[in-house]
Structure 1
């Protein structure tokens, strides 16, 4: 039987500072309900001044290892769009700080789709025999790249990290990842971007304007693309593992905003209560979005062992991706240590 990647540990970390809607809305003299009604978000966590994305990733990775009762991983893959610096990648630093010494470590940047791409990368390393286990982390400090005066983007995003430990196993095991569906559309790269600071601008000798260093997004076009791409990709992932969409127990999608999640449910003709959602409490956490939703679904019992689960995300690039698994019985979620997998 072929070698598969099996989810065996889950961890997450949110920075302690919480930014609720009432505080955020006061910056612009707006009603907090204005934010909630348009996004479904009530609060978000923001990075502590002086800390960085790698700090979030290290803590989430440590918790995922603890959940699995492990102290090692054969490789580390970090999905992020907000590394500590342009170079080098943060994954080697994260691995070092977790005591993993000289293991293979690499960053993946597919923006909000990053975690699914990182899962596929980790699964590939296991299938190829490069590593017997892979720590996959999604981490972003996206509030650091937001224009504080932009009402269209500033309320949407929060900071955080989530991680899973994958181990080598067989495709018939609970937790085995399958049904990977990945795609991109570079023709629409300008819909989601941070235009300044890259090689194109530098080689042209142009000054870096402050507004070019902030994240920007064409909201209406992104909404339409997100609904279309996630709906199709999630359905393909289910089909690849032989699951009719009506028989999928839980859909865990990138938490972009509540309206997109509702639109995907309508597009797929799937009851909305089958979609795991934590967006009200954390906002859009980019590459951390799906593992944070998994953590919360595990903690509140929405995700239960044996359920058919499909993950799907959409992000800049444009990129999209999905994967499927039967939810495993996580060892750290036992009665002995009920919070180890879902702190």
Structure 2
């Protein structure tokens, strides 16, 4: 008898990634399509259904060969209803009954969750988390998101807001966040946050620095440029990176002191700075944690890259099916 497969979907504002996986987490096929957010996003779910049907025909597969479909999506997710609301980058202003549409069209069990939670599941299952039962995941990109798996369970909280690592307060008098409060990690450690810190610190920095000169000249500055300059021993860029890593180390220490996971995994575009970033976060993490946490919780870099979403979504479908 053939082993049944899983489908993982990573729904983003510009592309939708798909994967067909084994129950052991091996990606056997993957593809992507553009996200068509026109007409208030009404084409997104029909496009998902159409491309899955097309691929199953292409691979000569039938729907009964699948355990389930899992999907990660932006926005506020109602897991019980299988619906999403407030995914503004998808142009979804009203509640979207996604599960109902996909299950009725394909006849395969469907489950969805927030995209950061799903990426956390991916890194925990097949990535840096080594399938450990206690893993926290932090993604540093346009914003700062995250997900927390504790004793094998993905945490959601009473309002679905568990794992919102980007809103840990790291500077009570700091920058205003889009959430309405001040000093959130997202304001200083996202891609735009790193640049914001650089601009603020440049006002008082008087030494020689190529990065400082670029800011003063009004040139475009990115988080990647800040880290590249720091790696090239630009003293001002080093100061900026040190400040950002102070905030990240403090936030990781809060997570460590409260949850004591085996791993805090850091992913997303900013994490491309690699070991240079990780070791600086580690230094501050060690400073702000107590002995038992310091010796048992590891700071790691994510390893799955763009595949974290589809792998995590597949694991969501696998777990959902096992619990039924």
Same fold? TM cut 0.5: no
Larger Cα-atom Rg? 2
TM-score, scaled relative to structure 1: 0.32
Higher helix fraction (1 or 2): 2
Larger RCO, structure (CA 8 Å, separation 6 or more):
1
